[in-house]
Amino acid sequence: MNPFSSGTRLRDMIRAIRACKTAAEERGVVRKECAAIRASISENDPDYRHRNLAKLMFIHMLGYPTHFGQMECLKLIASPGFPEKRIGYLGLMLLLDERQEVLMLVTNSIKQDLNHTNQYIVGLALCALGNICSAEMARDLAPEVERLLQFRDPNIRKKAALCSIRIIKKVPDLAENFVHPVAALLKEKHHGVLITGVQLCSDLCKVSTEALEYFRKKCTDGLVKVLKDVANSTYAPEYDISGISDPFLHIRLLKVLRVLGQGDADASDSMNDILAQVATKTESNKNAGNAILYECVETIMNIEDNGGLSVLAINILGRFLSNRDNNIRYVALNMLMRAIAVDSKAVQRHRATILECVKDSDPSIRKRALDLVYLLVNETNVKPLTKELTEHLEVSDPEFKGDLTAKICSIVEKFSPEKIWYIDQMLKVLSEAGNYVKDEVWHALIVVITNASDLHGYAVRSLYRAVQKARDQETLFRVAVWCIGEYGEMLVNNFGRLDIEEPATVTESDAVDVLETSIKIHSCDLTSQAMCLIALLKLSSRFPSCSQYVFFSTMRKMLLTSVYEANISYPSADISARIKVHSV
């Protein structure tokens, strides 16, 4: 037999493809097989039609074009036998999608199969319709699917519910047709029908306000009873996961109760007890249990709560923050950010744990925890929180310093209780991470210092000490240079000294020397050099004893800067001579 004829079996083709050692060899095998399949299609050979389609599905999964076999799917679906229909529907779901115009031709075949006497053929049609249904098909076939929601076989009802979810997503206007059948599904004992019915109920509530009101009045108590039965059910091995009874149905029920309770006080009251029971009795040492607790917290946060449940929910999130799983901690931080709007006092109780998350090794958790801390800050806790963040700034990773610095500066600027505290905190930030501070931040600091006339002396002395310890911080250097140039005489004469300051003696030459030393360190930054030169010129008029030294030093630096900008090489002796001539 020809190895690439339509009579070859699927396994033989797969074996030939897998035996290929290069991509070119594989393409050759696929090309020959596709040619044989085309020949068989042109001959309209019904004996090998199902085999050809099975080969095309495998070729499609390898990424090769198979559009020429789409009509074979329709022919197999129209066949009377179940095996041919099964291959045809599988090919229809795999080779086509809702954008294909060929689907218009298969609508009538699906409609006939939905009314077939064989329940397995009905199941095939429902499965295909639920996967590739277009808006036009949904409008044409919705009555058949609605009728099948009341079919005698539970598996058909389950597949009809899944198909209905697809239909109402494609055509929301059809939602009202499914409301009453779905209400019956919520009373089912069959697990598959119940879980799909709950999902369909949730989707109907999202697309139709009429359906939402109907389910609130008619089905809320029933869903609460179902959740209570599931939470208190005995061990069922087929639905048990890690000792947690049916977590998937748990989660679906919590989601639909969340939708029903949102904005409705009566519905929320009816589900308060069962939510408290789920929150307290569910084990938190298993991943399935944590999933249920997370959905329970989400539901509590969205319904109309009377106050007690929100504290319970936030305490659950606090326990999540102590979990070793980073994913659980991350979702807890996200949820706590939303919980602040519900009960900020309850979130504040977990402030210490949240601050520990800021120091976590995982960058995603660090950033999310920092965002949460920023939301927690208010006038009463700004000082301790800022102290914690500033202390962590000293040991934080370089890639995290930028975000941390920006948040600290924003907190200090927004919640500062007094100007002296504002200046102290900004000096700490500038000393530890001045190179990460944006220009508008240190500009604002200079404005604050300028407007605080009683703190001029304190600010310039604090900056003088800080710049000596952290000479490499560019932004700190700029602020210090500006203040020394403006208030240098207060630095030297100890004007305006506060009781909290330690006594210190600074001479005029000391003030000039700190600028001279710092300008050498920041010689590559023209803005810093310009500010330093201006400060030196200001000091030359205020410190007569150092005026000549300052003048020569300034002129030399200006000439060096001009030479650097013009890219001209002058001998140093020539520069000195020019300074002397200019001074004469």
Round to whole Å and give the CA distance between 176 and 390.
58
Better pLDDT: 96 or 524: 96
Round to whole Å and give the CA distance between 572 and 476.
31
Which phi and psi (to 5°) does residue 241 adopt? -130, 110
What 3-state DSSP class applies to 244? strand
Round to whole Å and give the CA distance between 516 and 556.
12
- Per-residue pLDDT of 100-126, as tens digits, reads 777 788 889 999 999 999 999 999 999
Q: What is the pLDDT of residue 547?
A: 60
Chain center to CA of 375? 17
What 3-state DSSP class applies to 219? coil
Model confidence band, residue 274 (pLDDT cutoffs 50, 70, 90): very high
How is residue 14 written in tokens? 């797969």
Round to whole Å and give the CA distance between 194 and 206.
19
- Per-residue pLDDT of 223-267, as tens digits, reads 999 999 998 887 778 888 888 888 999 999 999 999 999 988 889
Residue 140 located in a structural domain: no
Q: Is 315 exposed, middle or buried (0-12, 13-18, 19+ CB in 10 A)?
A: middle
Q: In what helix (H) or strand (E) does residue 173 lie, and over which residues does it extend?
A: none
- Per-residue pLDDT of 523-576, as tens digits, reads 667 788 788 888 877 877 777 666 655 555 555 555 445 444 444 333 334 323
Q: Is the pLDDT of residue 148 over 90?
A: yes
DSSP classification of residue 234: P
Residue 237 located in a structural domain: yes
- Per-residue pLDDT of 183-197, as tens digits, reads 999 988 899 999 999
Q: In this structure, are residues 578 and 554 in contact, taking their beta carbons and an 8 Å threshold?
A: no
Model confidence band, residue 199 (pLDDT cutoffs 50, 70, 90): very high
Chain center to CA of 22? 41
- Across 425-432, average pLDDT: 91
- Per-residue pLDDT of 290-331, as tens digits, reads 999 999 999 999 888 766 788 999 999 999 998 889 999 999
Q: In this structure, are residues 421 and 452 in contact, taking their beta carbons and an 8 Å threshold?
A: no
What 3-state DSSP class applies to 241? strand
Chain center to CA of 396? 23
Round to whole Å and give the CA distance between 546 and 513.
10
Q: Is the pLDDT of residue 3 over 70?
A: no
Model confidence band, residue 140 (pLDDT cutoffs 50, 70, 90): very high
Q: Longest Cα pair distance anywhere in the chain, in angstroms?
A: 115
Q: Is the pLDDT of residue 220 over 50?
A: yes
Instruction: Please tell me the total count of domains within the chain.
Output: 1
Q: What is the pLDDT of residue 343?
A: 85
Round to whole Å and give the CA distance between 246 and 402.
45
**What are the strands, taking DSSP E only, across 495-580?**
none
Residue 521 located in a structural domain: no
Residue 549 located in a structural domain: no
Q: What is the pLDDT of residue 307?
A: 64
Radius of gyration of the chain (CA): 38
Q: What angle do CA 283, 286, 292 make, to 5 degrees?
A: 65
Q: In this structure, are residues 564 and 514 in contact, taking their beta carbons and an 8 Å threshold?
A: no
Round to whole Å and give the CA distance between 138 and 144.
10
In the predicted model, what is the mean pLDDT of the chain?
Answer: 85
Q: In this structure, are residues 517 and 557 in contact, taking their beta carbons and an 8 Å threshold?
A: no
- Across 48-53, average pLDDT: 87
Residue 254 located in a structural domain: yes
Residue 230 located in a structural domain: yes
CA distances from 231 to 153, 311, 313 (A): 27, 21, 18
Quote the domain boundaries for residue 302: 219-306
Round to whole Å and give the CA distance between 249 and 246.
6
Q: What is the pLDDT of residue 569?
A: 39
Q: At what angle do helices 326-339 and 363-376 cross, to 10 degrees?
A: 20
Round to whole Å and give the CA distance between 248 and 227.
12
Name the residue with tokens 């959740």: 227
Residue 461 located in a structural domain: no
Q: In what helix (H) or strand (E) does residue 245 lie, and over which residues does it extend?
A: strand 244-245
Q: In this structure, are residues 317 and 353 in contact, taking their beta carbons and an 8 Å threshold?
A: no
How is residue 442 written in tokens? 């240190």
Model confidence band, residue 584 (pLDDT cutoffs 50, 70, 90): very low
Q: At what angle do helices 82-95 and 119-132 cross, to 10 degrees?
A: 10
- Across 402-417, average pLDDT: 92
Round to whole Å and give the CA distance between 298 and 184.
27
Q: In what helix (H) or strand (E) does residue 110 lie, and over which residues does it extend?
A: helix 103-114
What is this structure's pTM? 0.78
- Per-residue pLDDT of 350-382, as tens digits, reads 999 999 999 998 999 999 999 999 999 999 999
- Across 471-490, average pLDDT: 86
Q: What is the pLDDT of residue 419?
A: 92
Name the residue with tokens 């197999």: 76
Residue 302 located in a structural domain: yes
Q: What is the pLDDT of residue 434?
A: 81
Q: In this structure, are residues 373 and 358 in contact, taking their beta carbons and an 8 Å threshold?
A: yes
Q: In this structure, are residues 88 and 49 in contact, taking their beta carbons and an 8 Å threshold?
A: no
Give the residue ranges of DSSP H helices in 233-381: 247-261, 265-281, 287-302, 308-321, 326-339, 344-348, 351-358, 363-376
Give the residue ranges of DSSP H helices in 219-264: 220-231, 247-261
- Per-residue pLDDT of 502-523, as tens digits, reads 777 777 777 778 777 777 776 6
The percent of residues in the chain predicted with pLDDT above 90, rounded, is 48
- Across 455-483, average pLDDT: 86
